[in-house]
Structure 1
């Protein structure tokens, strides 16, 4: 009976979403945790390594140049795939160039190359998000989000854990980054064979139109500000619960190795399973019902950490249960949230609108840390996790309040695809 739901995963568009998700995630660790390990092995001091954490700023500000992607199509491979190809070639060349340098003797050049990798990677993210939104049919968006997250996580393991293993006695750091550059170059082949979106849209005629028309179009919609509040608030409780989770578990007496194993094994598997389960259920339930139920599950599973706090002493079984439940619900919620962002984008301005909406959606994940610290001091750990569940309630109320709008989004996108 479930064959019709699994069938959505079996087509070129979904395959392209997964493989391009891998391409999107591959550069991330190369300017983050893996880069820090290389710098540490090279003998750089902690202050210098700390400054290198700023090289990832382009990921935060990518919406600033997203209008250029909408305005100026490349002369080959269509409006989106041409930009993806250029970004991937630039990434492969920049990573390869970095692999030929010693960070200790060429520190300034090394830092510049790291910023360039982050810039090209952020640009690739903008275009891949736009491409995925345009190439997937409405009923495929949940599946596309799930396989995209799967590809992204596998890429982060490749450029993170696998790169560290390679550099730990098998290859030098220079050779390891050269391997990563070759993998990135190989992604260009995926871009060549990826299907072109059926819906062909005229790009904005001027740069001014590319910058301002997406905002004008979005805010001309009824309830635009409430929709933005939903985008920010839907994952806010989840963001609070996860913001200081490692510190919490350390305070509860769990060892660093146990925490790492729990997140890397149980957390990763549960997140991926939640993404795929969410995609299947979205086909059955639709966007509104999925957002509501997955949001409720996100809030409820935050209380798994409350159970750990109330229990007081380390319990491996309870830890695995809490992390698995939270990540399972989080994976389902992420699938529905990504599908919502896709449905909110006007095809004329997909790159710009998705970049802006995704930046707002990540607001909680990026900025709740300081507030979480104060809440923990004021409330204690157990009450903090109860508060994180309560913080999720406004987002759920917004889903309920916007029921008609969300159902119309679901219906209108299906009708627009049927007209093609």
Structure 2
């Protein structure tokens, strides 16, 4: 039976749930550090007279975001002394990560890049490590705090908070720097981390929290202990911990899906191929087409921000009503198709009205698809290994796209923007086909957080 408008309006009530509201502020806390160790930091280093070579080396700090899966098992299994008893497993880790970010930003504010570039690098690494750790914990917290049907709303609230934080850490930091200098700007950014810290202190610990099954020996752990019966106790304890914390999360995932796990992982790796590949050449395209910087900022940043949030909110509502898979299929089609609008704009030229239409379609579909995608990934994780498995998914979902995006300039130089955007649209076809396959299958269905899948 078709859903009435009143049914859809009632669904909007998901944005009133306390866990969903909390994700708005935790999303802000997650998004704030990102630009402060990337483009905003590059602006500060440039004004300080740091060489372009050194500024380029600073981008390596961002590798921490791509390798967070390495220490995610520790977050799942190790309890924070004292804080675990006071706050719980997830909130204890979250507070430490946020204090790490705030402390690193304060340290950066206390240094002079012209004379203490090494210390700037150290503090930037502290910020990046704390931010990547915070991402792992927030992802696990989000999944464990609400049932699967609410994950779309949780994702939409997270994206909204994250996007607002990017504005604060980007344009906001520039305003603060203009008013009081870069050290003042970074002190203000450190103060903004109080948004996340206060949220961590007032929210409730998820009922299903990481590490709860640490005392239950998994099949592989029992085998390891049997095979090493004659070894020394420290070796057996360390090996059993490694098997439980690092091997078991991946073993559980492949054990749950069997060979179908490869299809799921392929879908995760390919889903964002189209939009990330296109995004590499977006700003050069606008400039080469003849748009002014002001026009680009007004349409792609301010107006585009609003469209992304609208798309995310719509995605959250649709996931509640339809589940994640059908919206994902639609989102994959829309994201690929919007690249054809960019290809058309390469023929039309610098028409501000056409740019508005294209950005509206691109950001609306992108926000919708990402919110649905995050909800889908959240439902794939096991409650025993939430942080580790989601860290694997979040790393995998951008790696192939970033690799393919590296060839984007080569395509543009060789064949032009029209061919490039058609190429980016074609790159989205595998994700569409896999989404259709998964949608028609039954074994892909994610379980609600806190429940084991058969």
- Give the TM-score category using the shorter length: over 0.9
Superposition RMSD in Å: 1.9
SS at match of 1:27: helix
Partners of 1:251 and 1:43 lie apart in 2 by: 29
C-alpha displacement at 1:406, in angstroms? 6.2
Counterpart residue number, 2:176: 166
- 1:247 maps to 284
Which of 390, 394, 399 is equivalent to 1:363? Answer: 399
Maintained 8 Å contact 2:324/2:372:
yes
- Equivalent residues in 2 for 1:117-156 (5 A)? 117-156=127-166
State the match for 2:88 in structure 1: 78
Residue number in structure 1 paired with 2:193: 184
**What's the offset of the Cα at 1:158?**
1.0
> Which residue pairs with 1:256 in the alignment?
293
Matched-pair contact (CA < 8 Å) for 1:288–1:407 = no
**1-side partners of 2:172 and 2:425: how far apart?**
36
Tell me how many residue pairs correspond in the alignment. 414
Task: Provide closer, same or farther for how the CA distance between residues 36 and 280 of structure 1 changes in structure 2, counting only shifts above 3 A.
Answer: same
Judge which range, 39-48 or 313-322, deviates more: 39-48
Quick one: distance in 2 between partners of 1:360 and 1:94?
Answer: 27
How far 1:52 moved relative to its partner?
Answer: 1.6
Say if 2:383 and 2:450, in contact at 8 Å, map to a contact too: no
Matches of 1:55 and 1:43, distance apart in 2? 20
Instruction: Tell me by how many angstroms 1:119 deviates.
Output: 0.6
* TM-score after normalising by structure 1: 0.94
Aligned to 1:336: 372
Q: Residue 73 of structure 2 corresponds to which residue in structure 1?
A: 67
Contact 1:139 1:414 in 2 (8 A): no
- CA 1:32 to 1:415, structure 2 compared with 1: closer, same or farther past 3 Å? closer
Question: 1 CA distance for matches of 2:188 and 2:413?
Answer: 46
Q: Deviations over 1:260-289 (max 9, x none)?
A: 222111211111111001111222222121
Corresponding residue for residue 233 of structure 2: none
Which has more radius of gyration? 2
Runs of at least 5 residues in structure 1 that lack an aligned partner in the other structure: none
Structure 2 distance, partners of 1:186, 1:277, is 26
Conserved 8 A contact 2:383-2:449: no
Say which is worse superposed, 37-46 or 12-21, in terms of deviation. 37-46
Q: SS of the residue aligned with 1:102?
A: coil
User: For the residues of structure 1 that align with 2:69 and 2:444, how far apart are their CA atoms?
Assistant: 27
| SS of match in other structure, 1:43 | coil
Matched, 1:224 2:261: yes
Distance 2:408 2:51 in 1: 30
Unpaired runs of at least 5, structure 2? 1-5, 216-240
Are the equivalent residues in 1 in contact too, given 2:88–2:205 (CA < 8 A)? yes
The alpha-carbon deviation at position 354 of structure 1 amounts to 0.5
Counterpart of 1:7 (choices 3, 13, 23) is 13
- Are the aligned partners of 1:232 and 1:364 in contact in 2 as well (CA < 8 Å)? yes
Given the alignment, which residue of 205, 214, 232 partners 1:196? 205
- 1:99–1:173 CA contact under 8 A, matched in 2: yes
Deviation readout 1:50-77 (Å, 9 max, x if unpaired) = 2222222211111111111011022231
Contact 1:231–1:361 (8 Å) recurs in 2: yes
Contact 1:287 1:407 in 2 (8 A): no
What is the rounded CA distance, in whole Å, between the counterparts of 1:33 and 1:346 in structure 2?
A: 36
8 A Cα contact 1:237 1:299, kept in partner? yes
Separation in 1 of the partners of 2:194 and 2:336?
41
Q: Which residue of 1 aligns with 2:109?
A: 99
Shift of 1:83: 0.2
- Give 1:11 deviation, angstroms: 1.4
Q: For the residues of structure 2 that align with 1:97 and 1:381, how far apart are their CA atoms? A: 43
Q: Which residue of the other structure, out of 331, 347, 352, is the alignment partner of 2:383?
A: 347
TM-score, normalised by the number of residues in structure 2: 0.87
* 1:388 lines up with 2:424 in the alignment: yes
The answer to whether the 8 A contact 2:27-2:162 is kept is: yes
Query: Which moves more between the two structures, 196-205 or 181-190?
Result: 196-205
Q: Once structures 1 and 2 are overlaid, which stretch shifts more, 342-351 or 366-375?
A: 366-375
Secondary structure at the aligned position of 2:384 is classed as: helix
- 1:177 Cα deviation after fit: 1.2
